[in-house]
Structure 1
Amino acid sequence: MPSSDENTDPQLGDPPSRQISLRGITSSVSTARQHVRRILGTGHPSVDDAALVASELVTNAVLHSRSGQGGTVRLTVSDTGRVVRVEVTDDGSLFSAPYLRDEPCAEGGRGLHIVSALCKQWGAYTTPTGRVIWCELAR
């Protein structure tokens, strides 16, 4: 069962950011999309693109990190008023890091191309317990 938290730092004036923890299984991808739609609302100008990139990033976390081996994935969605930031935190991988595949005939591997096309910027960094993949969409 997903758990959800709202994090706001009123002293810093940070915008509300909402996160959900998901099991590292493929059915969590649809839960991630629903969560983005619930947080941003159906009338938000970036809701469709944000739901799509969240779906792609959660899918990658489940398929390519230790999260998909009984771990968890955390999805955080923030709307600053100028950009929507989507972050996916996974349990990391010993074998790979996120990269854009250059294999046009491959059956898969287009997720980060979609993220790159829709977002103003994206990136990744490691943490002591895993990896965070983030992206920002124009509002």
Structure 2
Amino acid sequence: MNDATEGCGSPDQELLGAMTLYPLAESVPRARRWFLKFIEPHGIACPLDDCLLMISELVTNAILYGRAEEPWLVRVEWSRVGTRLRVDVHNAGLPACVRMRRPAADVAHGRGLCLVNALADSWHVGPSLFGGTVVSFVVADAWQS
């Protein structure tokens, strides 16, 4: 696991957007659309397709694995930290349940965190400030200095 805690809560962190989603399958494309809509004015310079894929994987995981006794939501936040993009996906699950799998070639699922690990400069899992779990990824040089 990579560590994306660098810049978390730092003075140069600027929240650019956030959304709250129901834990339903249709929330995954909604998260992609809203991220694209609200990140565009900020002139991001990193590959947006990579960001959209990672957001899709983390929101999907949050929906599939988030658990709570009462109704809950998935929260997605994206921030600028210097020249880095940080995306946080919060869910109602337990941090200890998040792990990177190594599925067999003939298995259709289980590669989400492997993709995030391959595409992000770093990633992190831990307790969410909202309760439950947050999984974050960072893309370095998302903006030119």
TM-score for the superposition, normalised by structure 2: 0.76
The one-character-per-residue Cα deviations of 1:80-133 (angstroms, maximum 9, x if unpaired) are 341111100001149x62111112232100111110011010011114720010
1:52 corresponds in structure 2 to: 53
Structure 1 residue ranges (4+ consecutive) displaced by more than 6 angstroms after TM superposition: none
The gaps in structure 1 that reach 5 residues or longer are: 1-11
Distance verdict in 2 for CA 1:49–1:71, change over 3 Å: same
Q: CA deviation at 1:137?
A: 1.0
Which residue number in structure 2 is paired with residue 40 of structure 1?
A: 39
Structure 2: any 5+ residue segments left out of the alignment? 1-10
Instruction: Provide the TM-score with structure 1 as the length reference.
Output: 0.79
On the 8 A contact 1:61/1:90 being kept in 2, the answer is yes
| CA-based RMSD | 2.4
Percent of aligned positions that are identical: 30
Looking at structure 2, the residues matched to 90 and 118 of structure 1 have their Cα atoms a distance apart, in angstroms, of 22
Q: Report which of the two has the higher share of strand.
A: 1
Q: How many residues align?
A: 127
2:117 corresponding residue in structure 1: 116
Structure 2 residue aligned with 1:135, among 130, 137, 143?
137
Q: Aligned residue for 1:27?
A: 26
Higher relative contact order (CA closer than 8 Å, sequence separation 6+): 2
